[in-house]
């Protein structure tokens, strides 16, 4: 990740750290985040030690702990890490990039990442690092916005919101890149992961107005099962082969 882009992301999330949980841990935001968290969680071991990349305020780490595991989180934003410490005071958190992890080889049983992958300048470096720090047989699961017709206009929307100084948790132009199923499969395979699965989740978006959000929630299981073309978050799972 370029230094300029990294500093921009870091500064933004330092600035909105105090309102981040208002966005993702209340009402619609909690429903949305819980849904994608459940999709990631179902592929991970329910015990062992997790590394959460782009941990934010520790929402997913907190969920993982409820299943009996231990967790470590990293994030670019120091303010986010401070809030994660307060949420999960028994866990370790660090300010770090996902492309250059400060951990020894084969340190973790699982790696997760929610809503971060599109920010990465070098996703291959992140996946290579995740592979390195996973124990043999360890699992990785990520969920992020995918490449779909409905996501094509998002960069322009973020660019406009930045120009008019909208203070929003996610509406910031970071030069995101979106990926489809084949691109994700190739990235994970090139990093050495096997047992790769790719699917789509989320139809009820956090920014929908009620009652549209509730309606979208009702049909979400049908959309994900039978019309995944309308879901917009891509979820990818893989395993590091046993020795």
Task: List the domain range (segments joined by +) for residue 171.
Answer: 3-239
Using pLDDT thresholds of 50, 70 and 90, give the confidence band for residue 171. very low
CATH no. for residue 139?
3.40.50.150
Per the DSSP assignment, residues forming a β-bridge with 139 are: 110, 239
User: Is residue 80 a contact partner of residue 24, using CB atoms and an 8 Å limit?
Assistant: no
Whether 4 shows a pLDDT value over 70: the answer reads no
Tell me, what's the pLDDT at 162?
52
User: If you write DSSP's letter for every residue of the chain in order, what string do you get?
Assistant: --HHHHHHHHHHHHHHHHHHHHHHSSHHHHHHHHHHHHHHHTTS-SSSEEEEET-TTSHHHHHHHHTT-EEEEEES-HHHHHHHHHHSTTSEEEE--TTS--S-TT-EEEEEEES-GGG-S-HHHHHHHHHHHEEEEEEEEEEEE---GGGTTHHHHHHHHHHTT---SS----------HHHHHHHHHHHT-EEEEEEEE--S-TTPPTTHHHHHHHHHHHHHHH-GGG--EEEEEEEPPP-
In the predicted structure, residue 164 carries a pLDDT above the cut 50: no
More confident residue, 163 or 120: 120
Contacts made by residues 59-67, CB under 8 angstroms, sequence distance 24+: 59/21, 59/24, 59/25, 59/33, 59/87, 60/112, 60/114, 61/87, 61/88, 61/91, 62/87, 62/88, 63/37, 64/112, 65/90, 65/91, 67/41
Q: How many domains does the chain have?
A: 1
Name the residue with higher pLDDT: 208 or 61. 61
> Does 150 have pLDDT greater than 80?
no
Average pLDDT over residues 194-222: 88
pLDDT value of position 19: 78
What digits encode the pLDDT tens for the residues 71-120?
999 999 999 999 999 999 989 999 999 999 999 999 999 999 999 998 89
Residue 1 confidence (pLDDT)? 53
Full-model pTM: 0.87
């Amino acid at each position: 990740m370029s230094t300029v882009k990294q500093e921009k992301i870091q500064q933004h999330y330092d600035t909105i750290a105090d309102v981040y949980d208002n966005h993702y841990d209340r009402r619609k935001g909690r429903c949305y985040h819980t849904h994608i968290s459940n999709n990631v969680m179902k592929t991970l071991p329910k015990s062992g030690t997790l590394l959460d990349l782009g941990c934010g305020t520790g929402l997913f780490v907190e969920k993982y702990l409820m299943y009996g595991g231990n967790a470590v989180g990293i994030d670019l934003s120091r303010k986010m890490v401070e809030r994660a410490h307060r949420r999960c005071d028994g866990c370790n958190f660090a300010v770090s990039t996902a492309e250059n992890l400060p951990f020894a080889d084969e340190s973790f049983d699982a790696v997760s990442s929610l809503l971060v992958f599109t920010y990465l300048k070098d996703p291959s470096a992140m996946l290579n690092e995740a592979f390195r720090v996973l124990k043999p047989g360890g699992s990785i699961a990520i969920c992020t916005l995918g490449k779909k017709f409905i996501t094509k206009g998002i960069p322009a929307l973020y660019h406009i919101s930045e120009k008019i100084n909208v203070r929003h948790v996610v509406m910031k132009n970071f030069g995101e890149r979106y990926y489809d199923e084949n691109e994700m499969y190739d990235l994970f395979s090139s990093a050495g992961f096997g047992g790769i699965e790719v699917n789509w989740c989320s139809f009820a978006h956090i920014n929908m107005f009620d009652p549209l959000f509730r309606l979208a929630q009702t049909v979400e299981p049908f959309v994900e099962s039978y019309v995944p073309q309308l879901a917009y978050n891509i979820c990818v799972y893989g395993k590091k082969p046993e020795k």
